[in-house]
Amino acid sequence: MARSLRFEFAVRKLPDSRLPRVYLLPILWRCLFVSSYEDSISEITKVSSIRVATRGGASGDVILKMGRSHKLDRTPDGWVLKSLKRREATLTESFLANRGWKFDAIVPFSS
């Protein structure tokens, strides 16, 4: 779950043109993930932001860049708080769609 959706301008230089391509990059702001195992919460992760970009082409890859995050992890000894590094993951659109990703929510300007 994301607390809000923000947009940032991104610029790419096209190889065949003098003009750059400018587009809006959606950013999911202040995200919260809750995981469970056998009807019990096993971890809670708070992520400062997730930048969403497409790789382009026919592959349908989506690049997710996660900002700073913290994870509250349930271990046999109790709950442990861990800081997680920034990271990037590349997933396919079909993978995200199968897990309930709401693409329409990050494209509010489309009809």
Distance of CA 71 to the CA centre of its chain: 16
User: Which amino acid makes up residue 88?
Assistant: E
Residue 107 lies in a domain: no
Residue 109: per-residue pLDDT: 64
Domain that holds residue 26: 2-102
* pLDDT greater than 60 at residue 111: no
Each residue of 73-102: pLDDT tens digit? 998 899 999 999 999 999 998 899 898 888
15 lies in some domain: yes
Return d(Cα 6, Cα 38) in angstroms, integer: 35
Examine residue 111 and state whether it is found in any structural domain, yes or no: no
Domain presence at residue 109 = no
Residue 67 lies in a domain: yes
Task: Please tell me the total count of domains within the chain.
Answer: 1
Residue 58 lies in a domain: yes
Rounded CA gap, 89 and 30, in Å? 18
Residue 46 inside a domain? The answer is: yes
**Is the pLDDT score of 8 beyond 70?**
yes
Q: What is the pTM of this model?
A: 0.79
